[in-house]
Structure 1
């Protein structure tokens, strides 16, 4: 199955971009007072579908990668940030949250997303900060 690694990685990367783009769109809608559109059922279901593809591709990649990849902790850092990103995103899109809290959580979720992407690109737990400490 290793011969499918490039295709699976491409699907994963595209799903990451689609998921982040949809979250950005939903967050902007929620922040601009159009939260009903951000929570509209077809938009939510599209988000679920994209995230399912993303998770499936990620699990396939984990099964294909050699165990040495897990040595430096970058995957663990990404998974930890994923939990933070999901929690912040839920608060950012929740209508019941105060507007200031929604805004702060939206910005923090985008920062967590960006850090996850930088960790994946660098294959190091520090991600973009790796270049600042070197």
Structure 2
């Protein structure tokens, strides 16, 4: 299975960027009052991409040695993914004030950026590592 690792990793990266882009677009349009981002076909596309992303992530986890959890970057990434999902849900819910939804949307995008930086740097500080070091 290790021979498929580079392909699965590239697919995972593609899906992560696609998922973040879909969220950014949907969120921006929802916050401007558009209704189409909440329609079922658009939501299903988002769910399909996120399901494939999770599947690729789990495949990578089965390939990698368990020592990868020893340095903390992957655990930080997973914890921030939970934060990103919660903020994303809060940003898309219409029962919140517009200001609260904008704040949640901005924080979700910031969290996505942190996740991306951690994944690229393979370090819990992510992009901050280059600023501090």
For the aligned pair, the TM-score class normalised by the smaller chain equals over 0.9
1:67, CA displacement in angstroms? 2.4
- Larger CA deviation: 62-71 vs 118-127: 62-71
1:68, CA displacement in angstroms? 2.6
Q: Could you state the TM-score of these two structures normalised by the residue count of structure 2?
A: 0.97
After the TM superposition, which residues 1-134 of structure 1 pair with which residues of structure 2 at under 5 Å, given as runs?
1-34=1-34, 36-134=35-133
CA distance in 1, matches of 2:81, 2:67: 22
Any idea what SS the aligned residue of 1:117 has?
helix
CA distance in 2, matches of 1:27, 1:97: 14
Equivalent residues of 1:74, 1:125 under 8 A apart = yes
CA distance in 1, matches of 2:99, 2:22: 21
Equivalent residues of 1:38, 1:93 under 8 A apart = no
1:69, CA displacement in angstroms? 1.7
- Larger CA deviation: 66-75 vs 1-10: 66-75
CA distance in 2, matches of 1:111, 1:38: 21
1:104, CA displacement in angstroms? 0.3
Q: What is the RMSD computed on CA atoms of the aligned residues?
A: 0.8
Q: Which runs of structure 1 show a deviation greater than 6 angstroms over 4 or more consecutive aligned residues? A: none
Aligned residues: 133
Equivalent residues of 1:93, 1:102 under 8 A apart = yes
Per-residue CA deviations over 1:77-109 (Å, capped at 9, x if unaligned) read 011100100000001111111000000000000
CA distance in 2, matches of 1:83, 1:68: 22
